[in-house]
Structure 1
């Protein structure tokens, strides 16, 4: 592990993190030096293997962020999670490999009205490397970063799927992605370091507050190669940058459970709570 700086993300019980199990889960083999090449490979394998999903919120289950709970759910589950779960798990792996990682927070702009200001309810990471400073993020659903981005503004940066760019205004950064020929805002952030306790507070709001979108709609995503695959409520969207997009609708809880298992590799929780939530989504109740 790299020496800790006061601003770096301090994760409880980091020494108990099972790095070998994480690397096996994402299919990574070989040496893992703390380099940009390793960061790129691990980030890509992470988002391509561990799905983004909010089933716990829909089932009214608590979302624990301690590493033991995250490993049980996302490494041994097999389940996925949302931004705090993904990026805390990712940060733990990076720190165990010797990367210098700082936690950051963002305001979501994706699909939001242009004049709205939301809370800082998204987590991302800053990674300091010999090659420079990069941002990394494995937990933004259908627009999750396929690779780290240099903390440099004003130009497009290639990733394994779409190009992204960072724009700057004063001390604020704005992340955008180019999809279908248009630049779309993803989120805005600054470089104020965040700690585990900050994420616990934000995660509680996202998972438990009655008005949180994560308690109202179904959101699942995991890319397959360059194809984006996302499930929003009962609609599945498949988008390949080099081909046409496809949409499919599902009409039953059984169909939703089937697509969660077969397309996203999610072993959805059994029981009446989740089934009732999925039924509400299907009926619009």
Structure 2
């Protein structure tokens, strides 16, 4: 069997039994959606390939939060939205969906909560609101940091082994993990991305290896989507990545970045152009009746 059977509860796949909140996960449909035609083995090559395919196929967007709604993290709803519709999601949606796919492939996945470092004065000033994944690969001595839901130019395109002070290059981007001072009992890791324009390293987010559970992220998801002070509840934020560019719409600002460090910016003229851009450039069909740009 190449995918999961049509039963609920424990779902028998070609790579073992996977419990997905009593909801069957159709691995075949997911892999077709992201365009993955490679091997289906729990090994580093498959992990890297499926991670990159997910990043390039499924856009990042916050349209539910912009409408004041916390998006569902139920597996069936995630499949309906991200796999079967012209929609994307933000970190909790992407990484929850990806975790189910990885488990169906035979990987072991732990949910992590991270403090976003981008734009922060100090790490301690930010709560743990970002979801990342720790992935164990059978036979590998170290787990991998995987993350298909970080809406920034420093996002991982491929997972990296959990090793400190080693540079990793993946799909044209360079990353490294370093340890940072932390008062808690667990080591704190910081993901850094190389900025080719400045030829420097910048922090993306910090995390410990403390496991978090789905109910933790149900609360965090609701807070980030509905708190009026949350940036995701205030302005449109969409991201699309392919082999040659990183496209980001942040409010009215459209930014196009390229692997060589070239960056162009312009302001979106109005609501009609924003909706057209989402449809044609991001692969997102915005819900009818919603307002994308304020002011």
Same fold (TM over 0.5): yes
Contact kept, 8 Å, 1:13 with 1:67, in 2: the verdict is no
1:245 positional shift: 1.5
Q: Look up the SS of the partner of 1:105 in the other structure.
A: strand
Q: Which residue of 2 aligns with 1:7?
A: none
Contact kept, 8 Å, 1:138 with 1:145, in 2: the verdict is yes
1:244 positional shift: 2.4
Question: Residue by residue, what CA displacement relative to the aligned partner does 1:169-198 show, whole Å, maximum 9, x if unpaired?
Answer: 361001110112121110000000111111
Among 249, 253, 273, the residue aligned to 1:235: 253
Structure 1 ranges of 4+ moved more than 6 A: none
Contact kept, 8 Å, 1:47 with 1:144, in 2: the verdict is no
1:51 and 2:59 correspond: yes
**Residues 235 and 18 (structure 1), Cα distance of their counterparts in 2 relative to 1, 3 Å cut:** same
Q: Look up the SS of the partner of 2:243 in the other structure.
A: coil
Gaps of 5+ in 1: 5-9
Among 140, 150, 163, the residue aligned to 1:140: 150
Higher helix share: 1
1:78 positional shift: 1.4
* Bigger relative contact order (CA 8 A; separation at least 6): 1
CA–CA separation in structure 1 for the residues paired with 2:78 and 2:96: 8
1:25 positional shift: 0.6
1:219 positional shift: 1.1
1:116 positional shift: 5.1
1:113 positional shift: 2.0
How many residues align? The count is: 271
1:2 positional shift: 5.2
Q: Which residue of 2 aligns with 1:152?
A: 163
**Residues 99 and 234 (structure 1), Cα distance of their counterparts in 2 relative to 1, 3 Å cut:** same
1:188 and 2:197 correspond: no
Question: Residue by residue, what CA displacement relative to the aligned partner does 1:228-261 show, whole Å, maximum 9, x if unpaired?
Answer: 1111111111111226211121111110001111
Question: Residue by residue, what CA displacement relative to the aligned partner does 1:38-77 show, whole Å, maximum 9, x if unpaired?
Answer: 0000000101010011011111233110001101110011
Q: Look up the SS of the partner of 1:79 in the other structure.
A: coil
1:3 positional shift: 7.0
CA–CA separation in structure 1 for the residues paired with 2:261 and 2:163: 30
Normalised by the length of structure 2, the TM-score is 0.88
1:119 positional shift: 1.1
Among 131, 135, 157, the residue aligned to 1:123: 131
1:226 positional shift: 3.8
Gaps of 5+ in 2: 1-14
Q: How does 1:1-285 map to 2 (within 5 A)?
A: 1=15, 11-14=20-23, 16-114=24-122, 117-129=125-137, 130-131=139-140, 132-142=142-152, 143-169=154-180, 171-179=187-195, 180=197, 181-242=199-260, 244-271=262-289, 274-275=290-291, 278-280=292-294, 283=295
Contact kept, 8 Å, 2:251 with 2:293, in 1: the verdict is no
**Residues 145 and 2 (structure 1), Cα distance of their counterparts in 2 relative to 1, 3 Å cut:** farther
Q: Look up the SS of the partner of 1:158 in the other structure.
A: strand
CA–CA separation in structure 1 for the residues paired with 2:155 and 2:165: 20
CA–CA separation in structure 2 for the residues paired with 1:64 and 1:182: 38
Normalised by the length of structure 1, the TM-score is 0.90
